Amino acid sequence: MSASLGCWNIADLSYKARARLPRGVWEYLERGVEDETGMDRNRSALDALTFVPRVARNVERIDLSAKLLGERSALPFAIGPTGASGMIHYNGDIALARAARSADIPFTISSASTLDLEQIVAEAGRVWFQLYLWENRELSFEVVRRAQDAGCDTLFVTLDLPVPPNREYLMRNGFGIPFKPNRQNVVDVLTHPRWLCGVIGQYLLREGKFPQQANLPRELRQSISKGGKPGAQFKQDNLDWVGLAELRAMWRGKMVLKGILHPGDALLAADRGMDGVIVSNHGGRALDHSVAAIDALPAVLDAAGDRLEVWFDSGVRRGSDVAKALALGAQGVLIGRATLYGLAAGGEAGVARAIALLSQELRRTMAYLGANSVADLDRSVFGPAHLLP
């Protein structure tokens, strides 16, 4: 029972996470933007895809391994970049990185992490770095160079937030990073003593301060500590393909663009020498009325051809969701909220439980489809074309 945490699916982990977290932290993790139609659309689109099972295929041995961005992974998915994991669990990024290493899958460090990227790399296996750009571009490039020097082999550039998203609940709840008690959140925090002691209390006891965005360039952190914030805001409304080419030229490893939904953008990415794109609508947390990511995947795949590695992200809650993305043609899948639920529910053990649940469900789905390996998953598992929604 201890290994399972009493959780038998991702929804169980979500239920435990919600009980443990203050409302402000929970809503940051769970909610979308504006009227939250995007989250519902992601789920509805995934549910609309149905399989046609095969029988008598001898599925005694099923291989879940895959080649992800040039290297073998034990599973065809990786943990994607998620901000504020340090507010969900003390040193949450390290718990995520360790669980990924134990499962032999990659982990992606977020620009919005509350730990220095070098600290996380020291605890990780294969590790990638996700970038948001700040107003001061040269200082942003400093962080990119740090990630390269630390051993991150792939740079993810998130493009689907050109301007800050409209997350009204954050203002209502008074939640932000660095965390600051205020009249909106103090009652919420005091009614969740386990989180208050286990997360905020640990930061104050061990480090003497609240968690903050550790991967801000050092100069910006020094400026903030002195009361100023010049250049310390994320700023991507002026990012274009010229700026991306500059990043491509300075990064020696693989470079992937996250947040692609239009096939034309995939073509531009290939023309500019990118290695991959991630089809994602930011889990319904950017533009509320954007197309569901799974619906956008086929057209992006067709545009990319064999010039780019194409991944899927947004809304994965079951191993069958992973199977659907792979069957449509995605080379890999990013997991976000699912592992954060595990982190909140049980720290590193909870993250490991989330990974195990998804892998078990994927294996079971593949058995029903008669697939012995990830390579066996293709569009034929959905049956004749007229059965596709």
192, 282, 289, 386: which is the annotated catalytic residue? 282
Distances (CA, A) of 161 to 260, 278, 280: 11, 14, 11
Is 358 within 8 Å of 319 (Cβ atoms)?
yes
Q: Which secondary-structure segment (H or E) carries 381?
A: none
Q: Distance between CA 106 and CA 264 in Å, rounded?
A: 28
HSE value, Cβ hemisphere, 13 Å, CA-based, for 4:
7
Cα–Cα nearest to 134, from 250, 238, 206, 51: 238
Q: Distance between CA 25 and CA 12 in Å, rounded?
A: 18
Distances (CA, A) of 267 to 276, 297, 305, 307: 11, 14, 9, 9
Helix (H, G, I), strand (E, B) or coil at 277: strand
Q: Which secondary-structure segment (H or E) carries 161?
A: none
Helix (H, G, I), strand (E, B) or coil at 3: coil
Q: What φ, ψ does residue 283 adopt, rounded to 5°? A: 65, 30
Q: Distance between CA 299 and CA 125 in Å, rounded?
A: 33
Say whether 282 is catalytic. yes
Residue type, position 67, single letter: K
Catalytic residues: 282
